[in-house]
Amino acid sequence: MEIDFTLRSDPTAAFRSLDARSSTAVLFLHGITGSPVVWVPIARAVAAEGVDVSVPLLPGHGTTWQEMVPTGWADWLGEARTELGRLQADHDRVVVAGLSMGGALALALGATAAAPDGLVVVNPALHIDSPFAPLLPVLRRVVRTIPSIGGDIAHPDRDEYAYPRTPLAPLASFHQALRILREDLWKVECPVTAMVSGEDNVVGPRTLRSLRSNLPHPPHIVALRRSRHVATLDFDAPLIAEAVLSSARAGAGGASRVAGDGE
């Protein structure tokens, strides 16, 4: 599948391509401090195959880190749930694809009564891998921001346009929500494809262990051997696009396997 990485005039803006003749749709969710730019190239490629796509801009993102400070998990999940509902109202099949925090949001949607028909999660974040994570509820009151966690891409010419600073208050909200999400993974009945980079400097291996241990059905694991955390903009982007398209087109039996995958 051909993927065009040409940037739009406003790279961080929301992106939608909706055609009333399409019976399937994909909702793409970006990561914390990130924006739709991480998914737009893949979304355009999937749309070119006749599938409707929506890449919303989550609250507090795509502007400045200062505007992110008052937002948190409830705001991001609320926006994702609203957009999922819109797509489900007009389509027979809806798949959710998420990167990093977007992967966590996708799994949270999968644990609800109005779950999507399939999930594709790319380096999903189910843990904040820092020894200071348990202290976030206290640290957020004395430290406003930490250095950016963005930009973990092997490809030298790609940029995810993440914030230069990460506000601790939203991060603390995310950390608290992840504990509940891990406990709710048993509710996810739809097929899950988990795509995991061999080198990831943001999300550690605990997430994959949590998926394997807590999901009621084994996830389909796809190894991304040439990419780092922001794999949607990295060398394995075509493999991710194929997996998303496969999930969108799959029947009730679950997603088809894609070339180059691994268990």
Which of the residues are catalytic?
100, 200, 229
Burial 199-227 (b: 16+ CB within 10 A, else e): ebebbeeebbebbeebbeeebbbbbbebb
145-147 vs 165-167, strand pairing mode: antiparallel
By residue count, the chain amounts to 263
**CA distance readout (Å), 145 to 65, 66, 100, 170, 259:** 9, 10, 19, 10, 41
Q: Is the distance from CB of 15 to CB of 55 less than 8 angstroms?
A: yes
Q: Report d(CA 140, CA 50) in Å as an integer.
A: 45
Alpha helical stretches, state H, the chain: 40-47, 65-68, 73-90, 101-110, 136-139, 168-184, 206-214, 237-249
Q: Is the distance from CB of 159 to CB of 79 less than 8 angstroms?
A: no
Q: Report d(CA 108, CA 102) in Å as an integer.
A: 10
